[in-house]
Amino acid sequence: MGFLKNILSNILIIIFLSTPVFIYFFVHLSNEIRKPLKTYEDNIIIEIKNGYNSKNIFKVLNKNNIINNKLIYEFGIINKKNYLPKYGQYYIKKNLSLLEILEIFNNGESIQHKITIPEGLITNQILSIIEKNKILSGEIDPSFSELEGIFLPETYFFTKGYDRNDLLLRMKSEMNKELDYEWNNRKKNLPYKSKFDALKIASIIESETGADSERKLISSVFINRLNKNMKLQSDPTVKYGLEKKNSNQIKIIKRSHLKLDHAWNTYTRKGLPLTPICNPGKKSIRAALNPIKTDYFYFVADSKGGHLFAKSLKEHNINILYLKNKNLIRLNDNKSIFLNDNNLPLEKPFKK
């Protein structure tokens, strides 16, 4: 009995003596994980790679002199509930505490890189931009090169090491969302059998003009022509098809090019080209599905980045004469109520 009492007494003494030590270390560690770290003097960028565990992350922090004490590091993790660090590049400001750094990892507040895809590029041009980006990773699936018109031009944000194919899938998904929205809000009685038909016209609009004020006007011309079963006669469709078939860039469209039949030539064939001819932006998609109602069937590019529109071939030829010879009289019935006056010539040619 006395033996047991001695054992119990010793245990109580140990517990009693240990409690202050335990409390001291607990308080010490609690303070250490909350106070600003002075082990690194400047802001720093570190990278946590995909698949890194707690041990790997400590090695990264230790290598960059952010935290050198593994006990403090482990205690900090214990104090973070549901701690699940995300991979990526992180910008670590100076004077942060260990808990603040772990919170950044847990929230995935990594550095966001961006890539901007301009409107009107063909798919191979987009793939080239993505391939050359050194922040992205992985090889591009070759099948993407056959998908014309389905990638939405936009600015996309991503973290270091983001997969190129995942980015392309995001761009494809964003195009589907945009096309679905505009399709569901389109004007009635448009001559499209599917959303893909609308995408084809949007790509032609994108290739024909960069002027926002003209997109819906140009759309109206193509809609009017489709409704009258007229050939679209769009130069960019000819250029796209020839470059796709011959892999040679064409700088100037010649009259002889217009006669070379292929599945995209809207001079030799009625209806729509086989596929879109570029990857159109949101404004061109909107224009294709919400055109202005006009009586225009023709347009010709002017020298200022715009176009002159005409209701008949006679008017169209007058516009061409004006642009070629600069024979001027005052504008009358050719003046469009849809165009801003600043974008129009003040005078037009006289047909003798």
Boundaries of every domain in the chain: 22-107, 113-177, 296-352
For the segment 170-201, what is each residue's pLDDT rounded down to a tens digit? Answer: 999 999 999 999 999 999 999 999 999 999 99
Contact (CB, 8 A) for 238 and 257: yes
Determine the pLDDT at residue 345: 37
Give the residue among 317, 297, 305 at the shortest CA–CA distance from 345. Answer: 305
Look at 88 and 219; give whichever has higher pLDDT: 219
Q: Say if residue 163's pLDDT is above 80.
A: yes
Contact (CB, 8 A) for 98 and 92: no
Calpha distance 97→66 (Å, rounded): 10
Q: Say if residue 341's pLDDT is above 80.
A: no
Determine the pLDDT at residue 108: 87
Q: Percentage of residues in the chain with pLDDT exceeding 90?
A: 51
Q: Say if residue 266's pLDDT is above 70.
A: yes
Determine the pLDDT at residue 15: 56
Contact (CB, 8 A) for 153 and 118: yes
Calpha distance 65→46 (Å, rounded): 11
Look at 120 and 20; give whichever has higher pLDDT: 120
- Residues 6 or more apart whose CB falls under 8 angstroms from that of 162 comprise 113, 135, 136, 137
Calpha distance 309→324 (Å, rounded): 15
For the segment 236-250, what is each residue's pLDDT rounded down to a tens digit? Answer: 999 999 998 887 788
> What's the mean pLDDT in 267-277?
95
> What's the mean pLDDT in 249-274?
90
Contact (CB, 8 A) for 160 and 168: no
Determine the pLDDT at residue 2: 56
Lowest mean pLDDT among 1-5, 123-127, 222-226, 236-240: 1-5
Determine the pLDDT at residue 18: 61
Look at 246 and 117; give whichever has higher pLDDT: 117
Q: Within 10 Å of residue 108's Cβ, how many Cβ atoms? A: 14
Q: Say if residue 85's pLDDT is above 50.
A: yes
Calpha distance 123→141 (Å, rounded): 13
Determine the pLDDT at residue 83: 87
Determine the pLDDT at residue 14: 60
pLDDT grade for 325, boundaries at 50, 70 and 90 = confident
Q: Say if residue 1's pLDDT is above 70.
A: no
Determine the pLDDT at residue 302: 83
Average pLDDT of the chain to the nearest whole number: 85
DSSP string, 113-134: EEEE--TT--HHHHHHHHHH-S
Pick the CATH number of 22-107 from 1.10.8, 3.30.110, 2.60.120, 3.30.1490: 3.30.1490
Look at 11 and 327; give whichever has higher pLDDT: 11
Determine the pLDDT at residue 331: 37
Determine the pLDDT at residue 351: 39
For the segment 35-62, what is each residue's pLDDT rounded down to a tens digit? Answer: 888 888 889 898 988 889 989 999 999 9
Packing angle, helices 70-78 and 2-34, rounded to 10: 90
For the segment 68-83, what is each residue's pLDDT rounded down to a tens digit? Answer: 888 888 888 888 888 8
> What's the mean pLDDT in 216-240?
95
Q: Say if residue 30's pLDDT is above 90.
A: no
pTM of the model: 0.76
Contact (CB, 8 A) for 217 and 294: yes
How far from the centroid of its chain's Cα atoms is residue 92's Cα?
A: 28
